[in-house]
Structure 1
Amino acid sequence: MQTPEEKKLLTKYWWFGGGGAMLLGSGLAVLLHGSKMKEANEDPWFWVSTGGFALIMSGLSFIGDANRFRTMVDVLRELDRREGLTKP
């Protein structure tokens, strides 16, 4: 049975993980588009590539936060398990 805290953390885990994966994938696509723009000698390639890199870094940050939320759920479950072992 999940506690309300665990449910809230798991919801954040899924939202941040999914959002991070979307940002990471979008950032890779934008970065590759900027690379093609550079090959074609188009003017704003630098800003497009910079935006793609920013999306990639944001996605990695969101994935890191998702990992933190999942770890917090595991810690709460372990603490509940240990508390259950000590009660008579």
Structure 2
Amino acid sequence: MRSERETKLLTKFWVKGGVGAMFVGSGLSVVLHGWGLRQGNEDNWFWVSTGGFSLIMTGLRLIGDANRHRTMVDVLQELDKREQM
């Protein structure tokens, strides 16, 4: 059975991982839209692409945080196993 701390960390893992994946996908879409604007010689292609890269980087950061939370759950489970020995 998971402790309350492990449950909170797992919830953060799923939320941050899901939102991070959504940001990465959205950022890729926006970057591709900016590329299309550039091909059409639109003036605002640079700012659209910059926004897309910002979304990608934010998503990667959230996925990294999610990985940290999952690692903490694994560490807590390992420490619990060692205490039971």
Q: TM-score, normalised by structure 2?
A: 0.99
Matches within 5 A, 1:1-80: 1-80=1-80
Runs of 4+ in 1 over 4 A off after TM superposition: none
- Over the matched positions of the two proteins, sequence identity in percent amounts to 66
Question: Structure 1 regions of 5+ residues with no counterpart?
Answer: none
Give how far 1:24 is off: 0.2
SS of 1:43's partner is coil
Question: Structure 2 regions of 5+ residues with no counterpart?
Answer: none
Q: In structure 1, how many angstroms separate the alpha carbons of the residues matched to 2:54 and 2:28?
A: 10
RMSD (Å), alpha carbons: 0.2
Q: TM-score, normalised by structure 1?
A: 0.96
Report which of the two structures shows the higher radius of gyration computed on alpha carbons. Answer: 1
SS of 2:42's partner is coil
Aligned residues: 85
Give how far 1:28 is off: 0.1
